[in-house]
Amino acid sequence: EAGVTQFPSHSVIEKGQTVTLRCDPISGHDNLYWYRRVMGKEIKFLLHFVKESKQDESGMPNNRFLAERTGGTYSTLKVQPAELEDSGVYFCASSQEQLGGLYGYTFGSGTRLTVV
Amino acid sequence: GQQLNQSPQSMFIQEGEDVSMNCTSSSIFNTWLWYKQDPGEGPVLLIALYKAGELTSNGRLTAQFGITRKDSFLNISASIPSDVGIYFCAGYDTGTASKLTFGTGTRLQVTL
């Protein structure tokens, strides 16, 4: 079974530019999550999709971040315009169960975003 | 929001030594999880704890869910080079839907 796939693995962009991150969850997993780790800090929840619907987007930092999951398969996270503080590693995770946090999700390898 | 304080931040140990790290919270969690992140990879679940006082082992790893439900520890016995990585605790509260609250991580380096 293929795991959670994220790309790109690395992205370096200039402040003010736009970047789109993509996540392909494990096939059949309705629940998809985005998390972010800013250097040296905790991994922080951004949002949770159930199929194509946003179940919880309480962790999204501001309106420069837009997440979509059209068709309930892969998801994209767009940052526009990017700021320096957006630098970090963005993780995607998926689970079959709605209460995925209870049993632990499967994480992707992450996208390391550097805004210069 | 909920915060987890994880310590130590980093550890440098020799191969064969035992390691202990812990996590404390100001609020109660119903589930504690421990993850490990290898360099360039995403976090991988090591151990999940579901009951206060529970002690669970997974090979050389042992984790406990504190009685107060506000803390957890992870022990690694007889460390080996492949134990290198960042260890994260995470708490889950049924009141927070499906999201996990993570600690800041403990970076473990093992020298030969």
pLDDT tens readout for residues B25-83: 999 999 999 999 999 999 999 999 999 999 999 999 999 999 999 999 999 999 999 99
% chain A with pLDDT above 90: 85
Dihedrals phi, psi of A45, to nearest 5 degrees: -65, 135
| Cα–Cα distance list, A88 to A38, A116, B6, B66 (Å) | 4, 12, 20, 31
| SS3 call for A70 | helix
- Report the chain B residue with the minimal C-alpha distance to residue A96: B98
Give me the mean pLDDT over the A75-92 stretch.
Answer: 97
* pLDDT > 80? residue A98: no
* Residue B47: exposure state from Cβ atoms within 10 A (0-12, 13-18, ≥19): buried
The pLDDT, as a whole number, for residue B51 is 94
* pLDDT > 90? residue A99: no
Copy the structure tokens of residue B70.
Answer: 């506000």
- Report the chain A residue with the minimal C-alpha distance to residue B6: A42
**∠A105-A24-A3 over CA atoms, to 5°?**
55
B98 contacts A42? CB cut-off 8 A: no
User: Residue holding tokens 């919880």?
Assistant: A56
Contacts of B98 in chain A (CB under 8 A): 31, 33, 48, 55-56, 95, 98-102
Distance (Å, whole) CA B90 – CA B75 = 15
- CB-CB contact of A45 with A8 (8 Å): no
- Bridge partners, A36 (sequence order): A44, A90
Pairing of strands A106-107, A88-95: antiparallel
Give me the mean pLDDT over the A38-48 stretch.
Answer: 93
Sequence-separated (6 or more) residues with CB below 8 Å from residue B82: none
The pLDDT, as a whole number, for residue B96 is 66
The pLDDT, as a whole number, for residue A102 is 75
Copy the structure tokens of residue A20.
Answer: 């789109």
- Bridge partners, B73 (sequence order): B22, B64
Give me the mean pLDDT over the A70-74 stretch.
Answer: 90
Helices of type H across chain B: none
